[in-house]
Chain A
Amino acid sequence: MVASAPLWSALLVPVVLLGFTVAALAVDAMLAARVAGRRMSVAVALGPLAEVPRLLVGQRRTTRAPDALLWRLGLLTVPVAGVLAAVVIPFGHVTASRMDVGVVWFNAMEVLTWAGLWMAGWGPNSALSMVGGYRFVAQGLAYELPLMFALIATATGAQSLSVADIVAAQTQLWFAAWMPVAFVVYLASVYAFSFLGPFDYPAGRDLAGGVLGELSGIDRLVVRAGQWLLLTAGAAMSVPLFLGGGNGPLLPAWLWSTVKTLAVLGVLVWGRRRLPTIRADRYVEAAWVVLIPLTIAQVFVPALVVLRR
């Protein structure tokens, strides 16, 4: 069903991903305006884009005795991880890479942000920044295992690690319908690996910005963009994993993919302002004591269904 596109189509992945990201940022700016009591207009929606030239010409902050190599490498890793993770996501019935281990690839690329943010926190030789980087590692230890079990649940349901096979296994019923726990845990983990919303603890206001604290100019642009690219990639991946991919009545597949991705993105962007920040040391306990047993129980459901088949 999901066919492989030629190799050059991999170049389209960042373009499409960026398009969805801009849409998410526009909605986010509108919601911010509504909360602040300002009028919602096109100019407000384009506000985040107007930030781009300002950050591009802005001066980069330097600190005393930074580890510049690790710092820049870490900053670059964040958007690169977002784009690489998106390579395996099918758009409608085409995909840039029909990799047979697509789910594991997505997981591995998202985990690259662990190294990226740790380096970005370590690099500037600044205490608050470093605490932010360490906070992300702590948060990673909390969110990663429940996320892995959520991914395993979908792979077990399809008996395959290939994203195309997972889409094909949902022609009758979406995985979100009979794996709701995995779906919710997955969405929470999308916030966690893009350190947005309730999981913005590594860049928390109590830390004067944490990992983002020492960033200005293009450095800030790279990480902020990377963060939103990760959120978008996570939302886009939830469509083939849980919402049946491009399958749907009447409309063409690419349109269904777009509609579903925008819907999930909309929920995530809306929820970002509705949920309080969770400290990593509290989430780790909830994750290991509650979520891991719950997600393991969730994996049992598709395992039993597949065995009965």
Chain B
Amino acid sequence: MSTVLFWVLAPLAAASGFLVFRFNSMARATISLLVSFLATGGLLILLGLGYLGVVVILMMVMEMVIMAVFMIAYMMNPAGLMPMAMYHNRRWSLVIGLATFVLLAGGIVVVPWPHRAATPPKDPTFQLGTALMGAQMLTMITLGFALFATMVAAVVLATHRGRYDRFGDDLKRRPAADPVRGGVER
């Protein structure tokens, strides 16, 4: 059962990943990338990493849909219906891409993997998390806070709908000056 699923999901992940660069529509390229991620999420579930696999599916659907909206909005032809390509320098991008894939995939086959000495742990996701981040937990948490603070600061600096924009310099203007009427506080 899991062997069959692997041979369905793995080629699907690789093929739809490749198709991203064959489609000439931004919408199709994005959905193709999404299919690739969904298949990868399925492979993670097959590995027994249920939580990681399902979270990959959950996050990637949301991310790819939002990405599609922005990619199409920022395209030279806003409708996104004119032919486009996802690559520059066709020949070399193809060579580099395929060479990297062969190198990494070949590495999996060539490396002499150790035999399992003990039974698999009850919760492999927890084990994987400990193995990846255990020793660096303090660094990771600090980094997480720093990244989050940076995001909040960037949004606060960039927004044109902060307190002073909405309520005036003395914060007394009512109702707030908003582009759309209705909502909270007005």
Q: How far is the CB of B98 from chain A (nearest CB, A)?
A: 25
Cβ proximity bits B153-186 to A, threshold 8 Å, 1 near / 0 not: 0000000000000000000000000001011110
Cβ proximity bits B59-70 to A, threshold 8 Å, 1 near / 0 not: 001101110110
Bound Cα distance A100, B50 (Å): 8
Q: Is B27 a contact of A70 with CB atoms below 8 Å?
A: yes
Choose one: A114, A285, A289; the contact of B61 (CB below 8 Å): A114
Q: How far is the CB of B162 from chain A (nearest CB, A)?
A: 14
For A141, the chain B residues whose CB sits under 8 A away are 66
The contact size tier of chain B is 20 to 34
Q: Is B65 a contact of A115 with CB atoms below 8 Å?
A: yes
For B183, the chain A residues whose CB sits under 8 A away are 281-282, 285-286
Bound Cα distance A161, B125 (Å): 13
A107 at the interface (CB under 8 A from B): yes
For A101, the chain B residues whose CB sits under 8 A away are 50-51, 54
A98-117 residues at the B interface, CB under 8 angstroms: 99-101, 104-105, 107-108, 111-112, 114-115
Choose one: A115, A134, A290; the contact of B31 (CB below 8 Å): A115
Q: A148: nearest residue on chain B (CB-CB)? A: B58
The contact size tier of chain A is 20 to 34
Choose one: B27, B54, B65; the contact of A105 (CB below 8 Å): B54
Q: How far is the CB of A180 from chain B (nearest CB, A)?
A: 21
For A115, the chain B residues whose CB sits under 8 A away are 31, 34, 61, 64-65
Bound Cα distance A111, B65 (Å): 10
Bound Cα distance A69, B31 (Å): 11
* Secondary structure of the A contact surface, majority rule: helix
A118 at the interface (CB under 8 A from B): yes
Q: Is A119 a contact of B31 with CB atoms below 8 Å?
A: yes
Cβ proximity bits A269-299 to B, threshold 8 Å, 1 near / 0 not: 0000000000101100110011000000000
Bound Cα distance A134, B73 (Å): 12
A76-127 residues at the B interface, CB under 8 angstroms: 99-101, 104-105, 107-108, 111-112, 114-115, 118-119, 122, 125
Q: How far is the CB of A95 from chain B (nearest CB, A)?
A: 15
B55 at the interface (CB under 8 A from A): yes
Q: A119: nearest residue on chain B (CB-CB)? A: B31
Choose one: B27, B69, B184; the contact of A285 (CB below 8 Å): B184
Cβ proximity bits B114-145 to A, threshold 8 Å, 1 near / 0 not: 00000000000000000000000000000000
For B180, the chain A residues whose CB sits under 8 A away are 281-282
For B182, the chain A residues whose CB sits under 8 A away are 279, 282
Q: Is B31 a contact of A112 with CB atoms below 8 Å?
A: no
Given A67-B28, A108-B54: A114 and B69 interface contact (C-beta under 8 Å): no
A131 at the interface (CB under 8 A from B): no
Bound Cα distance A148, B159 (Å): 26
Q: How far is the CB of B156 from chain A (nearest CB, A)?
A: 15
9 smallest CB-CB distances across A and B, nearest first, come from: A108-B58, A285-B183, A108-B57, A104-B54, A289-B184, A114-B65, A101-B50, A101-B51, A111-B61
